[in-house]
Structure 1
Amino acid sequence: MHPGTTSHPPVVRAAEVHQPIPLTPAAPYAAPLVPVQPAAVPAVASVILPDGRVVTGYAVEHTQPAPLAAKPAVSSAAVNVALGGVGFLAVCGGLLMLTTFITALTALIAQLITLAAVLFGGWIAVQVFSARNGASGGNTFHIRKATFKRNRFNG
């Protein structure tokens, strides 16, 4: 409280009820209104608060909550499991294709290694056998049939 003021007990008054007055169109050239009669005009109530303020308004009826929706025939968990199965099948198809590709790639690499070994072995064989014709400048040895008689060599 402020200094120099006295405190008074709050004044409590009875609630006053007012009926709303409908408005009439202001101009004659306004669009024609279609008269609609409300089923019931709500009452206007004024309430005086303990601190002296007056609150005026319409009484509002509480709305009823919507009825609970019926449970679906299929549970959401079953739908999730089914969708997971479809996704798993799609992934398995992709993995099958991936493993088939890896197997084919491995077979191709094995065939290339075998081809390289055959070609390299053939090249080595040509090098070895071409050295025997004497054109390479090497020594040629003729081996005769030798016999051993009584621990003596007859050559």
Structure 2
Amino acid sequence: MYPDHTPQRAVEVHQPTPIPPPVVHPAPVVPVQPGTVPTVASVVLPDGRVVTGYAIDAVRPEPVTAKPAVSRAAVNVALGGVGFLAVSGGLLLLTSFIAALTAFIGQLITLAAVIFGGWIAVQVFSTSGNQGGGTTVNIRKAVIKRSHFRG
């Protein structure tokens, strides 16, 4: 090949695809009733000139709705506080009831221990053959041993 010769490439031609214009629907025409013709007003300035024009009503702002004196958030917080106080009173009573019940059960256990312990003591310190209650000591043998009596 020749040094100044470059190979030719095939040229591709792309034709753009036309985009159809958007479909525009015309807005419906609403017949407007002609208003009353405003009155013409004339004003005399201090230097004697007269200015004439249409009288324009002053723009009146829309009435502002009255806001409540207290916001809804404040009312909700207050109602939540009242509810919490009501529940707290009930919880306090429940806690007092549980404490009283615990003390009552503890006293019942103590009473049962005293009664059962007393019954055990009576069983240990009483003899089955002696109805008088108490311990019998054979004094005769004790006297004999002390006095050296021989008989």
> Normalization by structure 1: what TM-score?
0.45
Q: Which has the higher strand share?
A: 1
Q: Which of the pair has the greater relative contact order for Cα pairs under 8 Å at 6+ separation?
A: 1
Q: Which has the larger radius of gyration?
A: 2
Q: Which has the higher helix share?
A: 2
> Normalization by structure 2: what TM-score?
0.46
